[in-house]
Amino acid sequence: MTERDRRRDRVRELLDAVLDDAHDDLGAMAAGAHASAYHFARTVSATTGEPPVAMRRRVALERAAWRLRGGASVTETAWEAGYDSVEGFARAYARAWGHPPSATPAGHPSSTAHWLDAPNGVHFHSPTALWVAAGEPPVAADGAGAVTMLMAHHDLADTAVLLERCAALPDDEWTRPRVPGAVLVGWAGPEESLALVLGRVVGGLEAWLAAIEGLDAPGGPEPDTVAGLRDRLDAVGPRWLAALADVDARGAWGDRLVDALCDPPESFVLGSVLAHVLTFDAQRRGLARVMLAAAGLDGGPEAVGEHDGDPVTWLRGT
């Protein structure tokens, strides 16, 4: 068995077999899972508490609500949901939601308002992802939320400080490779310059936030200018903090996202996403300070104190 096979889990199997666009009936789902229809239906129902056809129909109606909330027409939404007629779609939608499609309120398409009750926590999140709710956390973590938010605030604030210092650099110093061959995360590629290191901090926040919100990642050029990165940080920072506060308030750190674009689909637990961001952002901010010192900035006594990257001294100054 390959490593890829070992990494496949129940959620990915559900995604492949039940929710694949090409699997429009139980027979196709079972064939996709290399099982008989009878065995497949029994296994999925026993594992998830929901028959596969019912799960597919529910997720399709959640996607329909997501599309309608985002401004799509009833006709195009019915077609996308796999219905042969608008009337049939309207009847199914009204049974599920208690109101016709035309009465769906407009709103942010990433809101959990487009979720129906489910016995397994599997929900439509975006055209390329599922959201899998973990249910009640097994252990209460009193006070942990405050520490988490403190670290997230500090990450943004310290990144802003570093960008302010970089504004004093000529363009060629901003993009000059300072640590040749530096790679912090294999799939992210080299991070040899201040432009790439701090660009990965801001770009990572944009990408993970887009995944959590169920939207396309806006991103920006790589490498970007100092001013361009600062504008992007100002735009993503408040939204990132708001998303974290929402997850914390709902106790949803054990929920997971399933990215359908990966092969096989990748699943990411929200708590591990935040841990990933804070871990590698801290490493990148430390590496940026090394590079600034090599460029003749941030290397003297003035680096000690409120701008030394220490959360303790940062908090004293807030």
Cα torsion angle, 194, 196, 197, 203, sign: positive
Side chain identity at residue 214, one-letter code: G
Q: Say how many C-beta atoms besides its own lie within 10 A of residue 134's C-beta.
A: 16
User: What's the pLDDT at 114?
Assistant: 81
Secondary structure class of 163 (helix, strand, coil): helix
Higher pLDDT, 174 or 4: 174
Confidence of residue 257 (pLDDT cuts 50, 70, 90): confident
Cis status of the peptide bond prior to 100, with omega within 30 of 0:
no
The domains of the chain, with CATH numbers, are 3-110 (1.10.10.60), 144-316 (1.20.120.450)
Segments of the chain assigned E as strands: 122-126, 129-132, 256-259, 266-269
Contact 65, 119 (CB under 8 A): no
Q: How far apart are CA 173 and CA 163, in angstroms?
A: 13
pLDDT at residue 304 in the model:
38
Residue type, 258: V
| 219-230 pLDDT, tens digit each | 778 889 999 999
In the predicted model, what is the mean pLDDT of residues 208-214? 86
Q: Which of 207, 297, 313 shows the shortest CA–CA distance to 257?
A: 207
Rounded Cα distance, 12 and 191, in Å: 32
Rounded to two decimals, the pTM is: 0.71
Phi-psi bin for 47: left (phi > 0), alpha (psi -120 to 50), beta? alpha
Q: Is residue 300 very low, low, confident or very high in pLDDT (cuts 50, 70, 90)?
A: very low
Residue 5 scores a pLDDT above 60: no
User: 16-47 pLDDT, tens per residue?
Assistant: 667 666 677 788 888 877 778 888 888 888 87
* Phi and psi angles of residue 125, each rounded to the nearest 5 degrees, phi first: -120, -45
Chain-centroid distance, C-alpha 226: 25
